[in-house]
Amino acid sequence: MTKLVVATGNPGKLREMQAYLADSDWELTLKPEELDIEETGDTFAANACLKASQIALATGNWAIADDSGLQVDALNGVPGVYSARYGKTDPERIARLLKELGDEVNRGAQFACAVAIARPDGAISLQSEGICRGEILYAPRGNGGFGYDPIFYVPEKELTFAEMTPDLKRSISHRGKAFASLLQQLEGIREK
């Protein structure tokens, strides 16, 4: 197995990535706690590449990073790359978003995710992106997931991300789609 350092200190995100890559021969591990990469990119892809590259260089190992967030149509894509910094806690972020949307009728939104893998020399080997369209509810529903999941409703499933089973969410989510694309490219990457 080849070590793949995940550019996050979040054990939940590590578990989620492990589930996506369960059938691969990569051994995922969290980045060292002291390594903190500032997300200065203006797109999800730029931030994913930045984090993967810097973690690879700092550790001398293959590294994987993702960046994702919520883009709300009526707010011109906000909160976008600032999704995690839109408030101090998930409830604060949700409350701010719902307040800013107010009674807006156009509730269209999408979750977007970009994933990047860097070689030990910091060069980006693979990138993929995924999008899941949905709508923003007027009030939270469901107890699962994290972040904006309780207000992100997927009409085709008639559920919010927070109401879905982990397997269902994984199969249709922005991150799931990005990883599905990545897995198709992953075979043979170490020979490059």
pLDDT digits (tens, 9 = 90+) for 27-66: 899 998 888 888 899 999 999 999 999 999 999 999 999 9
Q: Cα 115 to the chain's mean position, in Å?
A: 8
Q: In what order do the strands lie in the sheet with 108-118?
A: 26-30, 2-6, 62-72, 108-118, 124-136, 152-154, 159-160
Residue 146 has pLDDT above 60, yes or no: yes
Active site residues: 67
The CATH number given to whatever domain includes residue 12 is 3.90.950.10
Ramachandran category for residue 24: left, alpha or beta (phi over 0 → left; psi -120 to 50 → alpha): beta
Amino acid at position 64, single letter: I
125-138 tens-digit pLDDT: 999 999 999 999 99
The whole-number pLDDT of residue 155 equals 98
Residue 23 has pLDDT above 70, yes or no: yes
The whole-number pLDDT of residue 106 equals 97
Count of domains for the chain: 1
Residue 183 has pLDDT above 80, yes or no: yes
Q: Cα 164 to the chain's mean position, in Å?
A: 17
73-95 tens-digit pLDDT: 999 999 999 998 999 999 999 99
The whole-number pLDDT of residue 136 equals 98
Q: What is the 3-state secondary structure (H, E, C) of 7-68?
A: CCCCHHHHHHHHHHCCCCCEEEEECCCCCCCCCCCCCHHHHHHHHHHHHHHHHCCEEEEEEE
Residue 149: give the domain boundaries: 2-191
The whole-number pLDDT of residue 68 equals 93
pTM attached to this predicted model: 0.90
The whole-number pLDDT of residue 192 equals 46
Residue 70 has pLDDT above 80, yes or no: yes
The whole-number pLDDT of residue 187 equals 67
The whole-number pLDDT of residue 190 equals 54
Mean local confidence (pLDDT), 161-189 = 88
